[in-house]
Amino acid sequence: MKPAIELQRPPVDFQEKLAIADLQGVAHNPVIKGFNPDPSIVRVDQDYYLVTSTFEWFPGVPVYHSRDLSHWELIGHILRSSEQLDLHGVPDSGGVWAPSLSYDDGLFYLVYTIVYNSGGRFKDLKNFLVTSPSILGPWSAPIILNSSGFDPSLFHDSDGRKWLVNVQWNHRPHLPRFDGIVLQEYSPTRRRLTGPITNICRKKDIIEGPNLYQRDGLYYLMLAEGGTSWEHSVSMARSEKITGPYEIDPNPFVLTSSQSPSLTLQKAGHGELVEAPSGQWYMAHLCSRTTELHRRCPLGRETAIQEVSWSKDGWLRLKSGGIEPLDTFTIPAGNGMVPSPAEPARDDFDAPLISPHWQSLRDPIDPTWATTTERSGHLRIFGRESIHSRYRQSLLARRITSFHVTMETKIDFYPHHYGQMAGLIIYYDTKNHFYLRLTHDEQLGRVLGMVMTDRGGYSEELDSQLVVNDWPQVFLRAIIDAETLRFFASRDGKQWHAFPAHYDFSKLSADYAGGFTGAMAGMGVQDLGGTQLHADFDYFSMHMTD
């Protein structure tokens, strides 16, 4: 391989660029693509662990592992039981908000919020703590900490004491809703918060996502500021005492993309710090990539990493010297690139357990409704509640991580009532999704057609539906090309029928639909009569073309 000048000669294939950059120890953002917001990162010896928010999706809080901060592998989830995570009935974009992972004296700690009601002046929620000696668990039963606000994080002080910080929420209409950051001590022996509650930081702007750090005798408070959209940012404050008063950083932003709409990484904010064994510092933060036409972010908020350093006067700064997120960063010294297994593009459902890359809505994945052991080489899903239900849906989905992707599945399903449906879904939430589904029509028999929900309005495209009574098998396909989403069907997997409509994929985003999640693709089955008719899926593939 030629030296660095090779990067400057045109034309250079994208994969070749990636290979050259890898050899030079350069990592590419976002490091974890698709709906993976609010990253929390910790290093234990040579291993980095990172968790993100999951909102209404089950299991909760994925754990990603890396040795070089560039290559990340999903190794499991922390919240895997109904005891740890009861999501039944939570609203769209409710559920698990901003989990925070930490490690101290041989024990992993995770604090997290479950939001049960949101969107108005009130937020009904609880903050919980679980612990485990291993990142893979088993994790403890949850301890309820408080309900005063969201985005909790646990700080382990050098004197052995532990402190919880979280946003304090104010419901009163004549006052700001974000009522500062509150601090209270946590007692491991009593397994509860104890002592006075101190409001350690208030600002005129929205502040959330608090994290405490200790360096050179000072306490540093990292904040997410400006909301979760285009004005998102990271800011800092510091104090000689953990209870304050806190001095606000003279620079209003450590990180933001709000001033440069042309940047690849938009909505940059909500960061956490980690120090590499080499002494280099890094910040994991959320970001979003936009579509060109409507400037929306259907992939959701993703995870990126920036190298940071401490200035002579003791403030955190990007190593680049600016405030804007970079598309690349240098991996920690002495680490070399450490490849990790990529998420498989195709799942043939041959394993006895369902892959951790699949998630369900609000309800644990269990054999009573989703199993790979009933029929060899197939995923069997038993139909339950409607696609609008916030309780017990039968839907399995994976994150969409690219603006250019082809998804495909093969389904066996023989409905005998219009309340029975199954198929391929591109999903944002209960109020916004596109669904190519098989069902039964009283006059036509087995039919295949598009249904959709747009900002809560449900519709069926009857003019374009296909009668498939004589199809020996049914293949379904969806293709995303930038903002355009199209659906296809085939009786043999070779000749494809294109449904005429071109849908706007960018609608499956917070920018159009509201909320905080991202687009997912998967398989759904409904049986509104309660007989739990099942559908068998032979495989599911998701191939990226960028």
- Give the active site residues: 38, 208
Cα–Cα distance between 286 and 325 in angstroms, integer? 10
Tokens of 361: 């809505």
CB contact at 8 A, 529 and 420: yes
In angstroms, rounded to a whole number, what is the distance separating the alpha carbons of residues 317 and 227?
A: 21
Strand ranges in 240-280 using DSSP code E only, listed in sequence order: 247-248, 255-256, 266-275
Length of the chain: 546
Distance (Å, rounded) from C-alpha 417 to C-alpha 530? 12
Q: Which two tokens stand for residue 291?
A: 């579509």
Q: Which amino acid is at 507?
A: K
Tell me, what DSSP letter sits at residue 464?
G
- And the tokens for 10? 């045109």
Q: What gap in Å lies between CA 251 and CA 273, rounded to an integer? A: 18
| DSSP letter assigned to residue 462 | G
The answer to whether 26 and 331 have CB atoms below 8 angstroms apart is: yes
From residue 423, alpha-carbon distances to 430, 526, 531 in Å are 16, 9, 18
Q: What is the Cα–Cα distance from 164 to 232, expressed in whole angstroms?
A: 23
Q: Is 433 exposed, middle or buried (0-12, 13-18, 19+ CB in 10 A)?
A: buried
Of residues 30, 83, 33, the one with CA closest to residue 59: 83
Please, which residues bridge with residue 309 across strands?
Answer: 317
